[in-house]
Amino acid sequence: MTSDDRVNGSAQALVDLLPPGSRVDGGRLVIGGRFASELADEFGTPALIIDETALRARARRYAHGLAARWPNSGVVWASKSLPCTAIYRVMGEEGLGVDVAGGGELVMALAGGVDPARLVLHGNAKTDRELSMALEAGVATIVIDNLDDVARLERLATREQGVLIRVIPDVATATHQAIATGHQNSKFGLAVPEARALVERLRGSDRLRLDGLHVHIGSQILDVAPFARAVEAVAALGEFDVYDLGGGLGARYTYDDHPPSIEDYLDAITGAARRFLPAHSRLLIEPGRSMIAETGVTLYRVVSVKRGASRTFVAVDGGMGDNLEVSLYGQRFEATVADRVGGGDSYTVVGRHCESGDQLIESVPLREPAVGDVLVVAVTGAYCLTMANNYNGALRPPIVLVDSGEARLAVRRETYEDLLRRDA
């Protein structure tokens, strides 16, 4: 262990990864005003805990930060990061727009009371049914990914519908290739020449009102420069009323990550907008991960501690059933024992699933982890529960919102009956 590693494993370093207001009290972790281990006792494990106070604060930081820099603007939360009715409600209450990718997220957004006038529909394979649902609900903006979207919408729309064209900006990003989307040959959107031709075509459409352009270069991006380059790339298509610049700002998952702040990111995109876009245009952004990742933690229970040939395994009661980030993208997480925060020896945290790839964290400092302890994995608010699955009959975890000492169940844990419920 280097001295950096020791600092990294410290209680303060861990707390710095957690939602603001998290603290250590007598060696025990407190999140949202509640002891993490007590939340585990009350709601069981694994469980996703979202600090609602922190989430609302981030929503406001984004909205005020963007409005201060570019008044004609809007923040549209990318709901794929944590599609859950209660979270849609929170975002709607905060006045944000919401991006829905397909019919399922649309249903949840509407159930969460989000005004359809603030909805943006995405997807590279939107079906007739999904487009009809969106048209019927009055979704304000549909983002056109391909010419089949246009054909479908011209057939299905009975009144004027606002649309944006998704453009491939041909911008490289240093992120995992599975979540990069700004490159040539991306499956999302149209390259500039095709987009230009479609602009001309839509100018003649009597049903589809072309409001502007959309661009999204990828996710977990830790440098602001490519966002600015994407603005320059779409500006080449001419002047429009609306530019939706997508999401993509990275979250701070590990002690060694230093992503740009929300403000750095907003400075970069509005700076580029001032250089390249018309001053009267409306700017939209679609943050997902950077909105919610850092407001969430996952609580697990330690089931076994076992010495291997060269490492000691801490096996927990979840794993790739509730967190695919590690196996899909090699994402690193940090963790602590809930009631003994900071320091300790290095352990490998593994899940309960039947494959060696089901490893949550390689080499993480933990203080005397023992069977029955609650383990807290930090920064799991985004995409973890989104992609939760039933591998090995795992029951998808509950989502619990904590708010200044109050905890409420937003989504219950799946039950064994649920696993049988769809049998025909």
Whole-angstrom Cα Rg for the chain = 22
Q: Which distant-in-sequence residues (6+ apart) come within 8 Å of 422 by Cβ?
A: none
Q: Does 276 bind ligand LLP (CB under 6 A)?
A: no
Residues 19, 108: Cα–Cα separation, whole Å: 25
The smaller minimum CB distance to ligand LLP, of residues 80 and 332, is found at 80
Exposed/middle/buried for residue 26 (C-beta within 10 Å: 0-12, 13-18, 19+)? exposed
CB 3 to ligand LLP: min, Å: 32
The smaller minimum CB distance to ligand LLP, of residues 30 and 217, is found at 217
CB 287 to ligand LLP: min, Å: 5
120: tokens are 């943006």
DSSP line for 285-302? E--SHHHHGGGEEEEEEE
Among 58, 126, 289, 332, binds ligand LLP (CB under 6 A): 289
Among 83, 112, 169, 287, binds ligand LLP (CB under 6 A): 287
CB 320 to ligand LLP: min, Å: 12
340: tokens are 């003994």
Among 83, 169, 189, 248, binds ligand LLP (CB under 6 A): 248
Q: Which stretch, 21-29, 247-255, 314-322, 412-420, contacts ligand LLP (CB under 6 A)?
A: 247-255
CB 247 to ligand LLP: min, Å: 3
Q: Which helix (H) or strand (E) holds 57?
A: helix 52-69
CB contact at 8 A, 295 and 51: yes
CB contact at 8 A, 314 and 348: yes
46: tokens are 């694994």
CB contact at 8 A, 228 and 269: yes
Residues 291, 288: Cα–Cα separation, whole Å: 5
Among 65, 102, 182, 246, binds ligand LLP (CB under 6 A): 246
Contact string 87-116 vs ligand LLP (x = CB under 6 A): ------------x-----------------
Q: Which stretch, 145-153, 253-261, 280-288, 340-348, contacts ligand LLP (CB under 6 A)?
A: 280-288
Active site residues: 354
Q: Does 179 bind ligand LLP (CB under 6 A)?
A: yes
The smaller minimum CB distance to ligand LLP, of residues 143 and 341, is found at 143
The smaller minimum CB distance to ligand LLP, of residues 216 and 252, is found at 216
CB 36 to ligand LLP: min, Å: 23
The smaller minimum CB distance to ligand LLP, of residues 9 and 182, is found at 182
CB 422 to ligand LLP: min, Å: 24
CB 199 to ligand LLP: min, Å: 19
> How do beta strands 242-244 and 296-307 pair?
unpaired
Size of the site for ligand LLP (CB under 6 A): 20
Q: Does 252 bind ligand LLP (CB under 6 A)?
A: no
CB contact at 8 A, 314 and 103: no
Q: Which distant-in-sequence residues (6+ apart) come within 8 Å of 1 by Cβ?
A: 346, 365
**For 423, phi and psi rounded to 5 degrees?**
-60, 130
Residues 2, 10: Cα–Cα separation, whole Å: 13
- Please give the residue ranges that form the binding site for ligand LLP (CB under 6 A): 78, 80-81, 99, 122, 179, 216, 219, 246-249, 286-290, 325, 329, 383
